[in-house]
Amino acid sequence: MTDHKKIKTLATGDRTIPPVGAKMIPIYIMGREYEVPESLTIMKAIEYAGYSYTRGCGCRGGICGACGSFYRFIGDYRLYSGLACQTVVAPNMVVVQLPFFPANRPGYDLENVAKDPHEELRRLYPEVFRCVGCGTCTRTCPMDIDVMDYIALMKRGDLKAAAEKSFDCVMCGLCASRCPAQISQFTAAMFVRRVCGRYILPKAGHLEKRVSDVKAGKYEAMLKELLAMKQDDVKKLYVEREREPDMAEAGKWMPKDTTKL
Ligand code: SF4
Ligand code: SF4
Ligand code: FES
């Protein structure tokens, strides 16, 4: 406990349903103490304390990467990090959520990198080649990605492997926030995945066909029809739509009605 005056919770966020009988624990949000139910995530605890999100929250499911957070525990020198929507609060957690993390985001035109993508990576992200191999990024990543390894693959020019290894990145920026070489690993990895999709992976025939269908105006009439419908009818159409079963074998399922494909 600190000298901070204990502040009562102000409101219960719409999406926060505290479990009945949950034990209340003290946590510190932006330096102020609150009592919150022990089983909440950081995100729900922040809402329970009366704050509402206008930024720093998206999917609430560990996918969008909008909620990177740092925390320490009173009496523990170590700094921890995680996603606010995935990390459960614990007593005496002192937490701050990053609203945004500034990263190196140079502009580029993918059409200009065909000749030597590795050289273009060096030009756009020279800091990647200054990695000291400390492993802090890998230890920080909430997605358990071996960030240091994909940086090493980038340095070696194996862009396909780097793209595959970084595929699960949710762009939270936590790795970049701790890097002593000031590398923006996640934006460099995005560049590499774009290069990979554009030049290295085989082209998806069905995607090319769909793009040419769109360009040829195949869906214009269907869109107009949808736009002219009443909102309730659109909702009904959505609810009753034919859906691919969750466990369907990849590439095997087709809807009964193929007229709109
Ligand atoms: S690689 Fe970096 S930006 Fe991507 S999920 Fe991991 S910590 Fe977040
Ligand atoms: S934190 Fe930075 S310097 Fe350390 S291994 Fe990761 S990219 Fe390299
Ligand atoms: S809100 Fe999307 S990852 Fe946390």
For range 28-57, the mean pLDDT: 92
Q: What is the pLDDT of residue 181?
A: 98
> pLDDT tens digits for 171-184?
999 999 999 999 99
CA angle (71 as vertex; 69, 136 as ends), nearest 5: 75
Q: What is the pLDDT of residue 8?
A: 47
Cβ(124)–Cβ(139) under 8 Å?
A: no
Give residue 18's pLDDT band: very low, low, confident or very high (50, 70, 90).
Answer: low
Structural domain contains residue 250: no
Residues 131 and 195 in one domain: yes
State which of 69, 97, 125 marks the end of a domain: 97
> pLDDT tens digits for 91-135?
999 999 998 899 999 999 999 898 899 999 999 999 999 999 999
Structural domain contains residue 166: yes
* CATH number for 64: 3.10.20.740
Q: Which residues contact 127 (CB under 8 A, 6 or more apart)?
A: 104, 181, 182, 183, 184
State which of 200, 219, 254 marks the end of a domain: 200
> pLDDT tens digits for 200-248?
999 889 899 999 999 999 999 999 999 999 999 999 999 999 988 888 8
Residues 173 and 121 in one domain: yes
- CA of 188 from ligand 3 middle (Å) equals 21
Nearest to 219 by CA among 183, 261, 247, 182: 261
Report the percentage of the chain scoring pLDDT > 90: 75
35: containing domain: 24-97
Across the strands, what pairs with 35? Answer: 26
Structural domain contains residue 255: no
Name the E strands within the chain.
24-29, 32-37, 68-73, 80-83, 93-97
CA of 56, closest atom in ligand 3: 1
Nearest to 82 by CA among 42, 130, 118: 42
Structural domain contains residue 69: yes
State which of 175, 200, 225 marks the end of a domain: 200
Q: Which residue has the tokens 């720093």?
A: 56
Instruction: Quickly count: other Cβ atoms within 10 Å of residue 60's Cβ.
Output: 18
Structural domain count, the chain: 2
Distance CA 179, CA 163 (A): 20
Residues 184 and 142 in one domain: yes
Residues 194 and 143 in one domain: yes
Give residue 36's pLDDT band: very low, low, confident or very high (50, 70, 90).
Answer: very high
Residues 122 and 185 in one domain: yes
Residues 121 and 191 in one domain: yes
pTM over 0.85: no
Structural domain contains residue 157: yes
Question: Which residues line the pocket of ligand 1, CB cutoff 6 A?
Answer: 65, 140-141, 143, 145, 147, 169-175, 185-186
> Which residue's CA is minimally distant from atom 3 of ligand 3?
62
Nearest to 94 by CA among 72, 76, 78: 72
| Residues 56, 61, 65, 71, CA torsion sign | positive
Nearest to 37 by CA among 96, 95, 91, 97: 91
Residues 40 and 89 in one domain: yes
Residues 42 and 67 in one domain: yes
* CATH number for 150: 1.10.1060.10
